[in-house]
Chain A
Amino acid sequence: MLQALITTPLILQAETYETAGLSAPALHQAAGMGGVGASAELAPYAGGLTDDGRVWLAHSPGEHDEATGELGFLDSMIGAWAPEDGLERTLYTSLSSILTGFGFGLMLLAAMLLGARRIDAATGLQWGLGAFAAVALAPALGLPPELPGSAAAELVARQTWWVGTAIATGLGLWLLVGRGEPLLKIAGVLLIIAPHLIGAPHPHEFASRVPAELQGHFVAASMVSAAVFWAILGSALGWLWQRGEAT
């Protein structure tokens, strides 16, 4: 049973990844953006944007430069480390997507086991959608998914805010929906709102070199694929768990 629970999110995420690729051409475009093929298209907008390493350097001059010193050194290092464009890059992207799906699947299952009264496909779908709100929607309100080349505030601050928002929203949703006591419901609402009152770390000026239209497509594609992913993941986990319990 555990075997089934552990392996299926993998397949699932792989499938979602495929559907995401099919339904969201902008995502593929985005995936290749740092690459050589797309950089030709984007060159007018992005200046010296030639490969992944440059993109990274272009708008993250802070800590990485301090850590490694010279620009040329870091560039050559990344050049040696980054996956090759094309098949290899897609392979790594698929692998990391699957790993993420696996990790999220484990966490979602744990959350359902701790918090859900019943676990079946229907409640799994609800939990999956709740997780979508917590992990995709709420953080995106403050920090929309970004294309490489976008201007952004300091990385650690954004990561902290992202994680904090996801946890607070998840907890808040559970208090709001899962608990009956009015006080807990109010606490849940406050937890959901709090990160947005605090505010996400933003750059002082919007100096993105990515065309706004492309960025818009990308955000939409990212949200749609996240919604599909969480809905399928939740339903499948619930369905599998129920099937496992029945036997």
Chain B
Amino acid sequence: MSASVSSAAAASQASVSRAALLPVVLLSAFVGAFVVFGVGFAHSNVLHNAAHDSRHALGFPCH
């Protein structure tokens, strides 16, 4: 009984902290998308050449 109560409390605590994390989550998703875009999709010559082999290896459309 007490175990289930404490685990429920822990779960609610976890969900609260996760809700509080929302801005961080969105920021990390945005930063991640930005980085992946920069490496995988940006058309700049320099970026393309530097990341060329990775793009091919990861199956990004290249060229």
A222: min CB distance to chain B, Å: 5
Which of A106, A108, A225 is B57 in contact with, Cβ under 8 Å?
A225
A104–B36 touching, CB < 8 Å:
yes
Number of B residues, CB within 8 Å of A:
37
Query: B-side binding surface: helix, strand, loop or mixed?
Result: helix
CB atoms of B61 and A143 under 8 A apart:
yes
Report the stretch among A41-49, A76-84, A171-179 that lies at the interface.
A76-84
Select the residue from B34, B36, B53, B58 with max chain A CB neighbours within 10 A. B53
Q: Can you name the residue of chain A whose Cβ is closest to the Cβ of B18?
A: A113
Count of chain A residues with Cβ under 8 Å from any Cβ of B? 58
Number of A-B contacts (CB under 8 A): 136
Which residues of chain B are near A59, meaning CB under 8 Å? 63
Contact of B49 among A81, A106, A155, A218 (CB under 8 A): A81
Beyond the given pairs A30-B53, A155-B62, 11 more chain A to chain B contacts, judged by CB atoms under 8 angstroms and listed by A's residue number, are A78-B45, A81-B46, A96-B54, A100-B58, A107-B32, A110-B26, A110-B28, A136-B58, A140-B59, A148-B56, A159-B60
Which residue numbers of B lie inside 8 Å of A, CB to CB? 14, 18, 21, 24-26, 28-29, 31-36, 38-41, 43, 45-46, 48-63
